């Protein structure tokens, strides 16, 4: 099972020689490492906020009035893990600046080879993979009370077995506050030159968020159009109970792997200046994923 999964991962990362849809380089950049955003089905274009906005939509950094830091860990499929860290700090009238890093890595996996009959057989060797992105970002208010914008840049490194590659990319984002209860968001993710002849997973994202009047509930919806894939949508909702507990659920239509159910659930807890978020996403026969995020303000 693990060898099959790693093979899917390597191909989806863009290291194969073919060029089918979804074969762009560094596709780990499309993995959702943040528990709140994941629990809401990936609908975060308009709802992005806090230090995690460095990844989700850098325009969300513009709403920070004090410094913040988050640590997140995604227990992905068998042997795969994703870690994310971000720090953000307002700098007077210059806006909010942020720095962070993301890594997708695997346990050591048995190597296979093709025998004379064309069958894959195990060898005594093993290999592993590590893909990283180091990020710097900025977010700020462009039109007072109406428009926030943001930018993030990333240095990308990939190592799978003995193969290495590297490059750089950028994200652009915006949030428009249409009314007190309605926000629109948009972004272009993973702009940059090809890595070893394969383009980055460029994605165009737009969405809306609605703070339901009179209720502590947020409803969000996004649409996505990747350059190398199919149109998809995301739906999510969050309800807060006594300002302490948040319950979340969502749905994502994008299915990169057979068996993906699309259903997302999770919760969050806030106490004093600390926060903890959890997300659960079942992936059918591939298993379940669990995402944990810890954050604080100072």
Predicted local confidence at residue 259, as pLDDT:
47
Q: What is the pLDDT of residues 127-142, one digit of tens each?
A: 778 999 999 999 999 9
Reference 28, options 69, 87, 71, 80; nearest CA is: 80
More confidently predicted of 208 and 285: 208
Q: For residue 5, what pLDDT band results from cuts at 50, 70 and 90?
A: very low
- The confidence band for 122, taking pLDDT boundaries of 50, 70 and 90, is low
What pLDDT digit, counting tens, does each position of 166-186 carry?
Answer: 999 999 999 999 999 999 999
Per-residue pLDDT at 296 exceeds 60 = yes
Domain coordinates in residue numbering, the chain: 2-297
Please tell me the predicted confidence (pLDDT) of residue 117. Answer: 72
* Residue 141 tokens, joined: 């208010």
pTM (2 decimals)? Answer: 0.86
Residue 12's pLDDT band, with cuts at 50, 70 and 90, is very low
Task: Give me the mean pLDDT over the 92-117 stretch.
Answer: 84
| DSSP result, 69-99 | EEEEEEE-STTEEEEEEEEEEE-GGG-EEEE
**Residue 17 predicted with pLDDT over 50:** no
Q: Which residue has the tokens 């993995």?
A: 31
- Determine contact, residues 244/51, Cβ cutoff 8 Å: no
Mapping DSSP to helix (H, G, I), strand (E, B) and coil, where does residue 61 land?
A: helix
- pLDDT-derived band at 23 (thresholds 50, 70, 90) equals low
The pLDDT score that the predictor gives to residue 25 is 84
116 or 36, which is more confident: 36
Q: Which residue has the higher pLDDT, 107 or 26?
A: 26
Cβ(166)–Cβ(155) below 8 Å: yes
Q: How far apart are the C-alpha atoms of 133 and 100, rounded to whole Å?
A: 8
Lowest mean pLDDT among 28-42, 246-260, 263-277: 246-260
Question: What is the per-residue pLDDT for 113?
Answer: 66
The pLDDT mean for the chain works out to 87
- pLDDT on residue 4: 43
Using CA atoms, how far residue 170 sits from 133, 173, 252, in Å, is: 11, 10, 24
φ, ψ for residue 93, nearest 5 deg: -80, 0
How confident is the model at residue 6, as a pLDDT? 47
Quick: pLDDT tens for 191-236: 999 998 899 999 999 999 999 999 999 999 999 999 888 899 999 9
Confidence of residue 11 (pLDDT cuts 50, 70, 90): very low
Domain 2-297 in CATH: superfamily? Outer membrane protein transport protein (OMPP1/FadL/TodX) (2.40.160.60)
| Percent of the chain predicted with pLDDT > 70 | 84
> Residue 118 has what pLDDT?
67
> What is the residue-wise DSSP string for 105-142?
EE--EEEEEE-TTS-EEEEEEEE-EEEEEEEEEEEEEE
Strands 163-179, 217-226: pairing is: unpaired
Q: Is the pLDDT of residue 115 over 80?
A: no
Residue 121: per-residue pLDDT? 66
The pLDDT tens digits for 59-74 are 999 999 999 999 999 9
């Amino acid at each position: 099972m693990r060898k099959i999964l790693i093979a899917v991962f390597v191909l989806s990362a863009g290291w194969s020689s073919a060029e089918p849809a979804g074969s762009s380089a560094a596709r780990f950049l499309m993995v959702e490492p943040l528990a709140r955003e994941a629990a809401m089905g990936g609908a975060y274009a308009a709802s992005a906020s806090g230090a995690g906005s460095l990844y989700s939509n850098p325009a969300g950094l513009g709403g920070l009035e004090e410094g913040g830091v988050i640590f997140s860990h995604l227990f992905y499929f068998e042997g795969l893990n994703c870690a994310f860290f971000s720090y953000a700090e307002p700098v007077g009238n210059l806006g909010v600046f942020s720095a962070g890093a993301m890594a997708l890595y695997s346990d050591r996996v048995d190597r296979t080879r093709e025998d004379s009959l064309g069958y894959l057989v195990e060898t005594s060797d093993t290999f592993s993979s590590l893909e990283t992105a180091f990020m710097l970002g900025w977010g700020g208010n462009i039109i007072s009370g109406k428009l926030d914008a943001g930018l993030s840049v990333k240095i990308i490194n990939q190592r799978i077995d003995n193969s290495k590659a590297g490059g750089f990319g950028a994200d652009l984002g915006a949030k428009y506050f249409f009314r007190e209860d309605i926000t629109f968001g948009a972004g272009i993710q993973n702009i940059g030159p090809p890595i070893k002849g394969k383009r980055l997973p460029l994605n165009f994202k737009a969405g809306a968020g609605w703070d339901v009047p009179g209720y502590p509930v947020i409803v969000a919806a996004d649409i996505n159009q990747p350059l190398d894939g199919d149109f998809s949508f995301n739906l999510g909702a969050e309800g807060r109970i006594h300002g302490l507990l948040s319950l979340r659920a969502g749905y994502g239509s994008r299915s990169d792997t057979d068996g993906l159910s699309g259903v997302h659930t999770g919760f969050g807890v806030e106490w004093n200046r600390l926060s903890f978020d959890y997300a659960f996403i079942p992936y059918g026969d591939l298993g379940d994923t669990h995402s944990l995020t810890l954050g604080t303000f100072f």
